[in-house]
Amino acid sequence: MTLRSDTTDGVLRLTLDRADKKNALDQGMYRGLAAALTRAGDDPAVRVAIIDGAGDVFCAGNDIADFQSGALKGLDGPIGDFLWAISTFPKPLIGAVHGAAVGIGVTMLLHCDLVYAAAGTKFVLPFVNLALVPEAASTVLLPGLMGHQRAAELLFFGDRFTAEHAERVGIVNAVVPSDALADHVDERARALADKPLRSLVTTKNLLKKRDWDAVHRAMKSEAEFFVAGLGAPEAREAFAAFFERRAPDFRQFS
């Protein structure tokens, strides 16, 4: 099982559990997340959901082996189902991150309502360094949070940034000591579970509906460029370089 699910006292906790691959998301995990979120949206026993990760890292992004294999065909499939489910999840959704959050491990947080990070968590948006483009509507959600220049800096360079920077630019609500993250998130989730659900759901809907069309349009057009880019020689070089633990050589391509 690479995705654990537990509901206690109205709080659903979805835990990415593929620690040997730093919780890199494969097709089965996307499928599991999409199904769990879709079910939870309609389940009266769930009032709040949390996504967190097992092991020493929250999520290392999409499984790069799936980029290489040609398994990704666009939004028709498990990734598209996951993006739809997380972006339309009607109830409060909390991201709890520690260690590292990379690629979709960051962009999925843009669809959470609240995000808490353990001190020391590193964030990376490596799409350009993989010769790809950003996804999950991050090309509209990131500039919406922090402005064009700061979003461009994170996306163009793909450098690691700290949890404190993520908090400053609005990706994260608060940075908490590593050993306090689970308790802090539990406390916040229980506090929300005690509130009137219908009011929370309507508030979330009112907050999100302004951007609804732009978010789903962006997901669609990003996915077209993303899938087209997967087969490009620059991307093949970047994927090979990751597994060979070396820097990619993009200068060989004109």
Q: Which of 53, 61, 80, 248 binds ligand COA (CB under 6 A)?
A: 61
Q: How far is the CB of 200 from ligand COA (least distance, A)?
A: 32
The amino acid present at 208, given as its one-letter code, is: K
Residue 192 makes contact with ligand COA by CB under 6 A: no
Figure out which of the listed residues 57, 97, 131, 140 binds ligand COA, where binding follows CB under 6 A: 57
Comparing CA positions, the residue from 44, 148, 56 lying closest to residue 100 is 56
- For ligand COA, the nearest residue by Cβ is 61
Member of 78, 80, 103, 248 binding ligand COA (CB under 6 A): 103
Does the footprint of ligand COA cover residue 142 (CB under 6 A)?
no
User: Pick from 3, 94, 100, 151: which binds ligand COA (CB under 6 A)?
Assistant: 100
| Closer Cβ to ligand COA, 60 or 93, answer by number | 60
Q: Is 92 among the residues that bind ligand COA (CB under 6 A)?
A: no
Cβ-based neighbour number of residue 221 at 10 Å: 12
223 binds ligand COA (CB under 6 A): no
Least Å distance, CB 10 to ligand COA, is: 32
26 closest CA partner among 5, 57, 1, 51? 1
Q: Residue 225: CB partners within 8 Å, gap ≥ 6?
A: 133
Which residue of 15, 62, 121, 138 would you call a contact of ligand COA, by CB under 6 A? Answer: 62
Q: Which of 63, 81, 113, 222 binds ligand COA (CB under 6 A)?
A: 63
For residue 96, the Cα-to-chain-centroid distance in whole angstroms is 11
Give me the amino acid identity at 234.
E
Show the tokens assigned to 205: 């809907």
Query: Should residue 24 be labelled a site residue for ligand COA when binding is judged by CB under 6 A?
Result: yes
Strand 3-8 relative to strand 11-16, pairing: antiparallel
Q: How many residues bind ligand COA (CB under 6 A)?
A: 16
How far apart, in whole angstroms, are the C-alpha atoms of residue 63 and residue 74?
15
The rounded distance, in Å, linking the Cα atoms of 76 and 50 is 25
Cα separation of 241 and 229, whole Å? 16
Contact residues toward ligand COA (CB under 6 A) are: 21-22, 24, 57, 60-65, 100, 102-103, 126, 130, 242
